[in-house]
Amino acid sequence: MAVIRYPDGAILCVADVHLEAEAPERLEVFRRFLLDVVAVKASALYILGDLFTAWPGDEVGEATVFEPLLGAFRAIHELGITVYVLHGNHDFLMGDVWCKKAHMIRIQDGYILNWVGQHWYLLHGDTLCTEDIHYQAFRYMVRNPDWQKTFLALPLEARLKEIEHVRGRSEQEKALKPEGIMDVSLDAVMHLWEKHPEVTGIIHGHTHRPARHAYRVKDRVYTRWVLPDWIRSPGYGVLSGDGRNFTLSV
């Protein structure tokens, strides 16, 4: 398993920003966050999935509306601030072309951040929602490289139409599901710590239920931070840390 080792300094974690070309005001909020917060306070920024509401392929990143955002990413890159990003359930088709343009290093679910002697397990969070069996089956299908290759070979217009269809169906299905099914499973969390006893805690998004959870397992206390989504957040939804203490802003 890959391990990111990072020196002392402030790190910022965000998830579920849900940017889209059709919402330029949200693009501007995140651009200002990069320039006013990340550029000033951060040694590194970790984007833990769903930076975008939908991502049908890297060619959409060529749209003029994304140029200011790319400029902000370029500015913090030139300051020596590293940006890491992993896929969420909305932007799992974000590829190397876009990441290179935005000066982002793509990581995978399950990366371990070794930071000031602590090990933090970073993931989007959807793999922990194991009780939602239908979603997990869908996730397994769309993360298959063969499925992605076939989908990306379609004309962009067809991809966009299919994404809208899937999103509409997903919203209908979510309305019928019990709330608990769409949240993190405690069994999945415990299994993760059994598999990775060296991990101090977990940081993830996806559920849009920002909180700090503490668990006692035998003689150890573990922490799980859940990041806020940016659609309902009145400000910048971010977890910031100095190596020992974290602050969650919603």
Closest CA to 120 of 12, 4, 42: 4
Can you list the domains of the chain with their CATH numbers?
3-243 (3.60.21.10)
With a pLDDT cut of 70, the percent of the chain lying above it is: 95
Say whether pLDDT at 4 is over 60.
no
Say whether pLDDT at 147 is over 90.
yes
Q: Is 121 helix (H, G, I), strand (E, B) or coil?
A: strand
| Long-range pairs of 4-8 with CB within 8 A, sequence gap ≥ 24 | 4/84, 4/107, 4/111, 4/112, 4/113, 4/114, 5/114, 5/115, 6/43, 6/44, 6/113, 6/114, 6/115, 7/43, 8/116, 8/243
Say whether pLDDT at 58 is over 50.
yes
Say whether pLDDT at 213 is over 90.
yes
With a pLDDT cut of 90, the percent of the chain lying above it is: 72
The whole-number pLDDT of residue 106 equals: 96
In this predicted model, which residue has the larger pLDDT, 168 or 147?
147
pTM to 2 decimal places: 0.93
The whole-number pLDDT of residue 243 equals: 63
Cα–Cα distance measured from residue 223 to residue 93, given in angstroms and rounded to the nearest whole number: 30
Per-residue pLDDT tens over the stretch 190-207: 999 889 988 989 999 999
**Average pLDDT for residues 231-250, to the nearest whole number?**
81
Quickly state the pLDDT bin for 114 (edges 50, 70, 90).
confident
